[in-house]
Chains A and B, each alone.
Chain A
Amino acid sequence: MIEFRQVTKRYDSDHTALRQVNFHLDRGELAFLTGHSGAGKSTLLKLIMVMERPTAGEVVVGGQQLNSLPKRQIPYIRRHIGVVFQNHQLLFDRSVYDNVAMPLEVMGASPNDIGRRVRAALDKVGLLSKEKMNPLQLSGGEQQRVGIARAVVNKPPVLLADEPTGNLDPALSADIMQLFTEFSQVGVTVLIATHDIALINEMGRRQLILDHGRLVTGGGAAAMGGVSGY
């Protein structure tokens, strides 16, 4: 579902964020992306979302080569990638419901369809009763779950998460990880960038470890399946 082939990303002549990164994530796979800050985690996620283009190598998502993708096709790729951010990126000028509905509105779904799918997503994260509230009224953990509901509301085949448990206590983090696991069980490819070593160890899933832009663990064909734990 996600494949990196010899991907290098250089920002300036002296700053290389990623060096010849190779890996392949299957459908339904859940993997962690770790490394020191500045190791290139965010760059890697940005390449998948086509926020950045690789300097060399190929990024393939869902069978689609992203390097040659025309700019006006980018939105259609993003509709198939759910993203969860550390700081949620929720909009506080509208209700929880309207926040979660955004990916569907962008696609031009009908109001009926939107209502059904938004409630299904909110139900999934256990916030169905709070759909009319403003996200500001929710706790940090609840806000994060709204962000997750928004990321999965249109059933994307790929789910990316950037430090999704960064501000949460261990119990809440475990809840959120449970959600991610459930998504991967229904076939969603989940890639979670995180620092939370304890959490990673607890989960026992495949790890992609970046060090100064190099993928030191978890890349290549040999690692596929072996570490992923199911």
Chain B
Amino acid sequence: MAVWLPVAVLRQWEVSVGTDSRQKQEARRGADHRAKSPLKAQARSYVDHHHKVARDSAQRLWKTPIASLMTWTVMGVALALPLALLLLLNSLQGVSAGWESSARITAYLAMDIPMEQAREAAEEVAIDGRVLSVQLVDRDQALAEFRASSGLDDALDFLDENPLPHTLLITPEDSARSAEGVRALVAFVEGMDGVAQVQVDLGWLQRLNAMTDILARAVWALALLLGAAVILVIGNTVRLAIENRRDEILVAKLVGGTDAFVRRPFLYTGTWFGLGGGVVAWLLIQMSLWWLNGPIERLAGLYGSEFALQGPGIDGALALILIAMLLGWLGAWLAVKRHLDDIEPGDIAGG
């Protein structure tokens, strides 16, 4: 309705005004033109206008490179900080997932279980769907290994008999590697005949997971705060732009510019600030990665870990830039909402 009513009014006025024959002709020609494809023509001029405003807003930013760069950098830092922490968190979670996959369940059989029964137990475990592989460790073999690796050779000689039981080393299937899956598997193995004790060390893993959960929440809270800061920074910058273009806004409103028309350049300005900020954030992240990856690999190597910092990747970079543009737009929108309505042409004409 907002579109059609004015057109109707316009036509009515064109007809009522067109006393001059030339003007009448033109009005009729205009009406014909509109009648052919009014929506298409309107849509095209709308798109054209968006292009023009977008280009114009971008050019304005280029014209003040230092000021624009400073805003971009502020945005970039504010965005890069939570993103860096998120990436770190992701890398940590990747590591803990890797360790989880190496979780093995050790089942010690009772001392009086003979080798044949131990073998049967191993087969029984092996056919379970949740188990990838089972390794049976013979008690004699275990003692020999222990003797070799512990250096307690002499002490062991004093023992009358082998103190070690037969042992099953169970590696769970991928799907069963969650904390619950492992717990269920442990319960199953514990219930088997001849199993004396089951050991699985998931405690430290759970502690690590709990810690990364806390860290994740802290990072998200930080991201939220810095996102708000970005919105405010852009809002303030756009407020200044609005002040600078006050005359233009007044004239646009005077000649019948709708609120959307007047807002548009500033919303684009905010979006371009967001784009620049996103790119700066991405550059900062890539530089930090490049700076840190060498030492981190060395450290991880010392721990025998595959740990490496993961970059944002192409998807991540695109998401970052999109989010930055959205934040810029939002900041501009807030500024426009707050300050544009204050500029009314009422004070143009004198008292």
Contacts of A51 in B (CB 8 A): 344-346, 349
User: Is there an interface contact between A186 and B256, defined as CB atoms closer than 8 Å?
Assistant: no
Q: In angstroms, how far is the closest chain A Cβ from the Cβ of B37? A: 12
User: Is there an interface contact between A79 and B256, defined as CB atoms closer than 8 Å?
Assistant: yes
Find the residue from B2, B9, B17, B44 having the highest chain A CB count within 10 A.
B17
Q: A31-50 vs B: 1/0 string, CB under 8 Å?
A: 00000011000100110010
Contacts of B342 in A (CB 8 A): none
State which residues 56-80 of A face B: CB under 8 Å: 62-64, 72-73, 75-80
A201 within 8 A of B: no
Once the chains are docked, how many angstroms separate the CA of A77 from the CA of B13?
11
A54 within 8 A of B: no
Instruction: Tell me which of A75, A86, A103, A157 contacts B13 (CB under 8 A).
Output: A157
Q: Known: A62-B9, A79-B256. Is A187-B349 also a contact (CB below 8 A)?
A: no
User: Is there an interface contact between A78 and B255, defined as CB atoms closer than 8 Å?
Assistant: yes
Contacts of B250 in A (CB 8 A): 89
Once the chains are docked, how many angstroms separate the CA of A177 from the CA of B192?
109
A175 within 8 A of B: no
Q: In angstroms, how far is the closest chain A Cβ from the Cβ of B22? A: 9
Q: B1-43 vs A: 1/0 string, CB under 8 Å?
A: 0100110011011101111100100000000000000000110
User: Is there an interface contact between B251 and A78, defined as CB atoms closer than 8 Å?
Assistant: no
Once the chains are docked, how many angstroms separate the CA of A72 from the CA of B258?
7
Instruction: Tell me which of A73, A105, A111 contacts B5 (CB under 8 A).
Output: A73
Once the chains are docked, how many angstroms separate the CA of A114 from the CA of B159?
105
B48 within 8 A of A: yes
A197 within 8 A of B: no
Once the chains are docked, how many angstroms separate the CA of A159 from the CA of B257?
17
Once the chains are docked, how many angstroms separate the CA of A215 from the CA of B346?
22
User: Is there an interface contact between B20 and A76, defined as CB atoms closer than 8 Å?
Assistant: no
Find the residue from B16, B44, B345, B349 having the highest chain A CB count within 10 A.
B349
User: Is there an interface contact between B348 and A89, defined as CB atoms closer than 8 Å?
Assistant: yes
Q: In angstroms, how far is the closest chain A Cβ from the Cβ of B115? A: 89
Contacts of A108 in B (CB 8 A): 42, 45-46, 49
State which residues 1-48 of A face B: CB under 8 Å: 27-28, 37-38, 42, 45-46
Q: In angstroms, how far is the closest chain A Cβ from the Cβ of B35? A: 15
Interface of B is mostly: helix
A138 within 8 A of B: no
Q: Known: A45-B349, A85-B349, A155-B23. Is A76-B6 also a contact (CB below 8 A)?
A: yes
Contacts of B256 in A (CB 8 A): 75-80, 103, 106-107
What is the chain A residue whose CB lies nearest that of B33?
A: A113
Instruction: Tell me which of A42, A105, A150 contacts B351 (CB under 8 A).
Output: A42
Q: In angstroms, how far is the closest chain B Cβ from the Cβ of A103? A: 4
User: Is there an interface contact between B20 and A106, defined as CB atoms closer than 8 Å?
Assistant: no
User: Is there an interface contact between A72 and B2, defined as CB atoms closer than 8 Å?
Assistant: yes
Interchain Cβ contacts within 8 Å, total number: 110
Once the chains are docked, how many angstroms separate the CA of A79 from the CA of B252?
10
User: Is there an interface contact between B251 and A37, defined as CB atoms closer than 8 Å?
Assistant: no
Q: In angstroms, how far is the closest chain B Cβ from the Cβ of A4? A: 17
A227 within 8 A of B: no
Once the chains are docked, how many angstroms separate the CA of A116 from the CA of B190?
90
Find the residue from A45, A64, A85, A107 having the highest chain B CB count within 10 A.
A107
What is the chain A residue whose CB lies nearest that of B53?
A: A105
B261 within 8 A of A: yes
User: Is there an interface contact between A102 and B6, defined as CB atoms closer than 8 Å?
Assistant: no
Once the chains are docked, how many angstroms separate the CA of A109 from the CA of B162?
97
Contacts of B261 in A (CB 8 A): 75, 106
User: Is there an interface contact between B45 and A80, defined as CB atoms closer than 8 Å?
Assistant: no
Once the chains are docked, how many angstroms separate the CA of A186 from the CA of B21?
9
Q: Known: A157-B16, A187-B19. Is A79-B255 also a contact (CB below 8 A)?
A: yes
Q: In angstroms, how far is the closest chain A Cβ from the Cβ of B344? A: 7
Contacts of B10 in A (CB 8 A): 79-80
B153 within 8 A of A: no
Once the chains are docked, how many angstroms separate the CA of A186 from the CA of B20?
5
User: Is there an interface contact between A187 and B48, defined as CB atoms closer than 8 Å?
Assistant: no
What is the chain A residue whose CB lies nearest that of B18?
A: A187
Contacts of A80 in B (CB 8 A): 9-10, 13, 256
Once the chains are docked, how many angstroms separate the CA of A42 from the CA of B346?
10
Once the chains are docked, how many angstroms separate the CA of A93 from the CA of B255?
17
**24 residue pairs bridging A and B, Cβ less than 8 Å apart:** A27-B16, A45-B349, A62-B9, A72-B258, A73-B2, A73-B5, A75-B261, A76-B5, A76-B6, A76-B256, A76-B258, A78-B256, A80-B10, A80-B13, A80-B256, A89-B348, A91-B247, A91-B248, A106-B255, A107-B256, A155-B14, A157-B16, A187-B20, A188-B17
Binding site for A on B (CB under 8 A): 2, 5-6, 9-10, 12-14, 16-20, 23, 41-42, 44-46, 48-49, 247-248, 250-259, 261, 344-346, 348-351
Binding site for B on A (CB under 8 A): 27-28, 37-38, 42, 45-46, 49, 51-52, 62-64, 72-73, 75-80, 83, 85-86, 89, 91, 93, 102-103, 105-111, 150, 155, 157, 162, 186-188
**Apart from A79-B255, A155-B23, what are 7 other A-B pairs with CB-CB below 8 Å?**
A37-B351, A51-B344, A75-B253, A76-B258, A80-B256, A102-B252, A110-B41
